[in-house]
Chain A
Amino acid sequence: MTATGSPQAPLTARMRAIELVAIGASAGGVDALLTLLADLPVHWRLPVVIVLHLPEGHESRLPALFAERSRVKVHEAHDKLPIEPRTLYFAPAGYHLSVERERCFSLSCEPPVLFSRPSIDVLMISAADVYGAALAGLLLTGANEDGAEGLRQIGRAGGLTAAQDPDTALSPTMPRAALALRRPDVVRPLAGLREFLIEMDNAHAQ
């Protein structure tokens, strides 16, 4: 998948432009995210923002969970927090998370989208609006269709899109919905998506 000159060469070129990674997951998402993101390489550079559907009113334990398993910085995405390299950001429960033109986060209490708040669509559409071709979006396991539209809009804005292979997802509805709307650039099992991420970060470093 890495060889330059292969049919994927344009993909490698597009990887170099990436400055932010947005990831969405729902049912089965905690394990999927651990497989994808635990122990990222020491030299990891890209900022990564993650929406995992959570029940409202429950504080997310994800930042603590990943802080233990990660050598990069891990934060809950607070209001107006600037987006910085080498950091994983998790959306807090009960708020929509957006990316602002100033390259910081904003939160909002707008009504749930597809029964979800935070909504993956809201994050991805706002991030695509700001980052365009410098955004990569990944959609993982999930039991509803949130994120499919977001991933489509990332693709339309010139960004890179990837979905977990539905046949390998604990809950295939979410990646399947994404595939039905617009074929992502990359469709792989989690191990392949992790390779994709690491390759992208290496390209970004060059």
Chain B
Amino acid sequence: MSRTSGERDGRPPEPSEDAPDDALPGALSVNDIELRLLMEAIFLRYSYDFRDYTGASQKRRVHYALGQMELPSVSALQERVLRDPAMFARLLQYLTVPVSEMFRDPGYFLALRQQVVPHLHTYASVTVWVAGCSTGEEVYSLAILLREEGLLERSRIYATDINPESLAQARQGIFPLEAVRKYTANYQRSGGKRAFSDYYTAAYDAARFDPTLCADVIFADHSLATDSVFAQTQLVSCRNVLIYFNRALQDRALGLFHESLSHRGFLGLGSKESIDFSSWAGRFDTLARSERLFRKKS
């Protein structure tokens, strides 16, 4: 594997000209075999299960990691990862996609306010699960929304992810000020009721969000691939996580959500995600189609 100059621009690398991938059509290429073996090795050694993640994105991320770590092949990476837990901790940062934003898809949060919040008000206490919370942008968005709707004081939010570094960042609630400008526009379009700057203090180039927003947030390590349900919830928000899973793993995750949700509980997915192809399609009603809000059938 040669690393080309293009990789510095964030482009995926490629097999070098002098080592053509001459697998028969339909057969697994050497690259694909190496990737599959790496995921098996990670599972056996560290119990992190990436075996049912979608191939194209996983391949890009592993190859990007190879470039950053200056390793010649996926096989070489596998050897290092197997023998050195610190190396796996590094690789984990590439395997997960910590790209998120606050109030991404404002229409989703508007629909939550208008169509879900009135139901949540009927509960004495509300439990929310943000599955795959990454660095916490969505957690803070939901906490702000719940506070403005008078629900945060009686809510508990479980924010889970498989990446401990992401969880640590999420606990801090510090986001780049430059990004917060975009979040402000999102917040306003999401039905926000105050000035967004009420929720953070700016220092240098960072915004630190009000820690009382997360007084009742539990950040925890949880894998949708290997762990089971840990709480009964009224709302599960899992957006742009399932896109990295194949159908089988999507089914597993949706099964966990269904089991976790209380009678007629609510499920929110990413704007291009779908339950139509899953075996759970018939077990949810569609509450808001384009906002991807669903409700557990009774």
Give me the interface of A with B, judged by CB distance under 8 Å: 76, 78-80, 92, 95-96, 98-102, 106-114, 121-122, 125-126, 129, 132-134, 149, 153, 156
Contact in complex: A98, B11 (CB < 8 Å): no
30 CB < 8 A contacts A-B: A78-B272, A78-B274, A79-B242, A79-B243, A80-B246, A95-B243, A95-B272, A96-B57, A99-B56, A100-B54, A100-B55, A102-B246, A106-B56, A108-B57, A110-B57, A110-B60, A110-B61, A111-B10, A113-B9, A113-B11, A114-B9, A121-B12, A125-B14, A126-B56, A126-B60, A129-B56, A129-B59, A133-B25, A149-B6, A156-B14
| Residue B124 CB within 8 A of the other chain | no
Which B152-186 residues have C-beta < 8 A from chain A?
none
Alpha-carbon distance between A5 and B257 when the two chains are bound, in angstroms: 61
Q: Which 7 A-B pairs have the closest CB atoms?
A: A98-B56, A126-B56, A108-B57, A106-B54, A107-B243, A79-B243, A109-B99
**Shortest CB–CB separation between residue A82 and chain B, in angstroms?**
9
Contact in complex: B99, A100 (CB < 8 Å): no
Alpha-carbon distance between A141 and B160 when the two chains are bound, in angstroms: 44
How many pairs, one residue from A and one from B, have CB atoms within 8 Å of each other in the complex? 80
Q: Which of A95, A100, A112, A122 contacts B12 (CB 8 A)?
A: A122
Are A80 and B272 CB-contacts (below 8 A) given A107-B243, A114-B11? no
Q: Which of A109, A111, A129 contacts B240 (CB 8 A)?
A: A109
Give 7 new A-B contacts, CB below 8 A, not counting A78-B274, A101-B32, A156-B14.
Answer: A92-B271, A100-B56, A110-B60, A110-B61, A129-B56, A133-B25, A153-B14
**Shortest CB–CB separation between residue A203 and chain B, in angstroms?**
18
Alpha-carbon distance between A122 and B12 when the two chains are bound, in angstroms: 8
Question: Chain B residues near A134 (CB, 8 Å)?
Answer: 25
1/0 per residue, CB under 8 A from A, across B1-39: the answer is: 000001001111010010000000100010010000000
Contact in complex: A110, B11 (CB < 8 Å): no
Question: Chain B residues near A156 (CB, 8 Å)?
Answer: 14, 17
Q: Which of A92, A125, A149 contacts B272 (CB 8 A)?
A: A92
Secondary structure of the A side of the interface?
A: mixed
Q: Which residue of A lies closest to B15 (CB)?
A: A156
| Residue B209 CB within 8 A of the other chain | no
Give me the interface of B with A, judged by CB distance under 8 Å: 6, 9-12, 14, 17, 25, 29, 32, 54-57, 59-61, 97, 99-100, 240, 242-244, 246-247, 250, 271-274, 277
Contact in complex: B99, A111 (CB < 8 Å): yes
Contact in complex: B55, A80 (CB < 8 Å): no
Contact in complex: A106, B10 (CB < 8 Å): no
Are A79 and B274 CB-contacts (below 8 A) given A106-B243, A109-B243? yes
Alpha-carbon distance between A102 and B277 when the two chains are bound, in angstroms: 14
Contact in complex: B10, A113 (CB < 8 Å): yes
Q: Which of B32, B60, B97 has the most CB of A within 10 A?
A: B60
Question: Chain B residues near A80 (CB, 8 Å)?
Answer: 246-247, 250, 274, 277
Alpha-carbon distance between A126 and B11 when the two chains are bound, in angstroms: 12
Question: Chain B residues near A101 (CB, 8 Å)?
Answer: 32, 55
Alpha-carbon distance between A114 and B242 when the two chains are bound, in angstroms: 25
Question: Chain A residues near B243 (CB, 8 Å)?
Answer: 79, 95, 106-109
Question: Chain B residues near A92 (CB, 8 Å)?
Answer: 271-272
Alpha-carbon distance between A98 and B6 when the two chains are bound, in angstroms: 19
Q: Which of A76, A99, A132, A133 has the most CB of B within 10 A?
A: A132
Q: Which residue of A lies closest to B278 (CB)?
A: A80
Alpha-carbon distance between A101 and B25 when the two chains are bound, in angstroms: 11
Question: Chain B residues near A96 (CB, 8 Å)?
Answer: 57
Q: Which residue of A lies closest to B56 (CB)?
A: A98
